[in-house]
Amino acid sequence: MTDTTPAAAACALFTALAAADPVGLWSAPGRVNLIGEHTDYNDGFVFPFAIGGRTVVALGTRDDRRIRVVSTFDEVPVEVALDDLDALFPDRRDEIVEWARYPLGVAWALLSGRDAADAVGVDLAIASDVPVGAGLSSSAAIEGATASALNDVWGLGLDRVALAQAGRRAENEAVGAPTGIMDQMASMLGRADAGIFLDCRSLDAEIVELGFDTAGLDVLVVDTRVSHAHATGGYGERRAACERGAAIMGVGALRDIAVGDLPRAQELMDDVTFRRVRHVVTENQRVRDAVRTLREDGPRAIGGLLDASHASMRDDFEISTPELDLAVAVARDAGAIGARMTGGGFGGSAIALIDRALVPATTAAIAAAFADAGYGAPHIFTVHPSQGARRDA
């Protein structure tokens, strides 16, 4: 978190870098996923919303064909010739310091396969108030803000879905994290008071009003501060198990398996693979049920689905942690309508849908329970469904 606004911080960084004012400011938010975890790379359904925390990019042009990035993550600028991006990514990405792979990877993804001769050189200064490492997609926020800025200044004319796809490509190939497209789509398409019901196969997105405000509800985030890293480890293993399950069932992706197919799946595969498959298949159904329930009965009716999603991630997909389980259990005891871990898992954050009046007591109860358990203090705050990527100035 920065002390000042990210826009002011980005402008100050830009001026220090380029000794000039930026030509514009662009920003994109982080996201919380309401429900639909590890379904995106299985061609399934997700239902995230963009949050208020944003990453801001201040951009100026330069009269050579180079791109220079600087950020509040590390004030040492990184500079590359635009024509060298293709040689760097993906094979030589290790030569670039990790944070800079996100904006430079987006520039690479946007230029690759097109005649880049017209692309003007740029300076980008990046500042953010999306918490890093909390599972709130600080990386998608960098990608969305960078993609929006470069799309405008390079006159590429790409739509929001294409910009999200460029962000995902940067994440997968320039950073090397084998993630799906949920985070980038949420960051590009977010709207105030609304969730994005996304079909990750067709990329059709419906904006669904959440009605939390009217119902007097808040979404509480409990950042356990147990860090998670998706470039390695458990995330990739879960993805491989899903691909194995789909192959055994003879389908292209687990999206094509229905809940009614699960008894047959259980006969065909080992227990671990089966439980991974069962999570994805039931989670896809829960996303659809959550959207329908929300529309028919309002937000107070979706709590059971949030709870069931958490149980499935804890018991079948095995991506929760003791800290996340504790946050969820205490929130529920304190009166939350529903609670679940959110994001890729193995750390990061849990969310609880909760009556606004219960926020202070729930926050205190979770903090006390973490202290009693000997866990590090969590960071607990509310988030509000917000606007997606945009040009700010």
Q: For residue 179, state whether it binds ligand GLA (rule: CB under 6 A).
A: yes
Angle between helices 182-189 and 138-153 (to 10 degrees): 60
* Phi, psi at 283, each rounded to 5°: -65, -40
Size of the site for ligand GLA (CB under 6 A): 11
Q: Which one is catalytic: 40, 123, 129, 183?
A: 183
**Smallest gap, in angstroms, from Cβ of residue 323 to ligand GLA?**
17
In the bound state with ligand GLA, the residue whose beta carbon lies nearer, of 11 and 106, is 106
What is the nearest approach in angstroms of ligand GLA to the Cβ of residue 234? Answer: 11
Tell me the pairing of strands 45-62 and 194-199.
antiparallel
Q: What is the footprint of ligand GLA within residues 12-51 (CB under 6 A)?
A: 37-38, 40-41
Q: Which residues contact 223 (CB under 8 A, 6 or more apart)?
A: 131, 134, 135, 136, 348, 349, 378, 379, 380, 381
> Which backbone phi and psi does 140 adopt, to 5 degrees?
-65, -30
Q: Which of 22, 60, 343, 347 binds ligand GLA (CB under 6 A)?
A: 343
Q: Residue-wise over 143-171: b if at least 16 C-beta within 10 A, else e?
A: bbbbbbbbbbbbebebebbbbbbbbbbbb
First to last CA, the chain: 22
Whichever of 36 and 60 has its CB closer to ligand GLA, that residue is: 36
Convert residues 200-239 into a mask of x (bound to ligand GLA by CB under 6 A) and - (unbound). ------------------------------x---------
Distance CA 204, CA 197 (A): 8
> Is the CB of 173 or the CB of 183 nearer to ligand GLA?
183
129 counts as catalytic: no
In this chain, which stretch among 124-132, 176-184, 307-315, 378-386 interacts with ligand GLA, using CB under 6 A?
176-184
Measured from the CB atom, the residue of 37 and 129 that comes closer to ligand GLA is 37
- Furthest CA-CA distance within the chain: 67
Which of 180, 190, 245, 303 forms a contact with ligand GLA (CB under 6 A)? 180
The encoded tokens of residue 22 equal: 């930026």
Q: 3-class SS at 258?
A: coil
**Interface residues with ligand GLA (CB under 6 A)?**
37-38, 40-41, 179-180, 182-183, 230, 343-344
Task: Just list the catalytic residues.
Answer: 183
